[in-house]
Amino acid sequence: MKLVEEFLSIQGEGIFAGRLAYFIRFAGCNFSCYGFGVVKSKNNKTLIGCDTLRAVYTNEFSDEYKEFETGITIQKIKSFKHKPMIVITGGEPLIHQENPKFIELLEYLVKNEYLVQFETNASICLKEYDFYKNCYFAMGVKLANSKMPKEKRIKYEAINSILKLSKQAFFKVVLDKADLEDNQELFELRNAYKDANFYLMPKGATNDELRANAKSVLEFAIKNGFNYTDRIHIRIYDDLEGV
Ligand code: SF4
242 lies in some domain: no
Using a 6 Å cutoff on CB, does residue 121 contact ligand 1? yes
Distance CA 94, CA 76 (A): 22
Contact 180, 220 (CB under 8 A): yes
Q: What's the start-to-end Cα distance of the chain, in Å?
A: 22
Distance CA 70, CA 234 (A): 29
Q: 228-237 pLDDT, tens per residue?
A: 999 998 988 8
Using a 6 Å cutoff on CB, does residue 31 contact ligand 1? yes
Q: 70-124 pLDDT, tens per residue?
A: 999 999 999 999 999 999 999 999 999 999 999 999 999 999 999 999 999 999 9
Q: 120-141 pLDDT, tens per residue?
A: 999 999 999 999 999 999 999 9
Using a 6 Å cutoff on CB, does residue 49 contact ligand 1? yes
Closest Cα partner for 184 from 227, 139, 224?
A: 224
Contact 242, 23 (CB under 8 A): no
37 lies in some domain: yes
What's the pLDDT at 54?
95
Domain boundaries, position 71:
2-237
Q: Assess whether pLDDT exceeds 90 at residue 30.
A: yes
196 lies in some domain: yes
Under the banding of pLDDT at 50, 70 and 90, the label for residue 154 is: very high
Q: Which of 54-58, 60-64, 100-104, 209-213 has the lowest mean pLDDT?
A: 209-213
Contact 94, 155 (CB under 8 A): no
243 lies in some domain: no
Distance CA 240, CA 243 (A): 7
Using a 6 Å cutoff on CB, does residue 213 contact ligand 1? no
Q: Which atom of ligand 1 is nearest to the CA of 148?
A: 6
Query: Which segments of 75-231 are extended strands (E)?
Result: 85-89, 116-120, 135-139, 168-175, 198-202, 227-228
What's the pLDDT at 183?
85
Protein residue closest via CA to atom 3 of ligand 1: 91
Using most ligand atoms within 8 A of CB, pick from 5, 29, 36 the residue to mutate for ligand 1: 29
Protein residue closest via CA to atom 8 of ligand 1: 50
Using most ligand atoms within 8 A of CB, pick from 4, 32, 141 the residue to mutate for ligand 1: 32
What's the pLDDT at 179?
84
117 lies in some domain: yes
Q: How many domains does the chain have?
A: 1
Q: Assess whether pLDDT exceeds 90 at residue 199.
A: yes
Distance CA 183, CA 105 (A): 38
CATH number at residue 116: 3.20.20.70
pTM of full prediction above 0.85: yes
Q: Assess whether pLDDT exceeds 90 at residue 176.
A: no
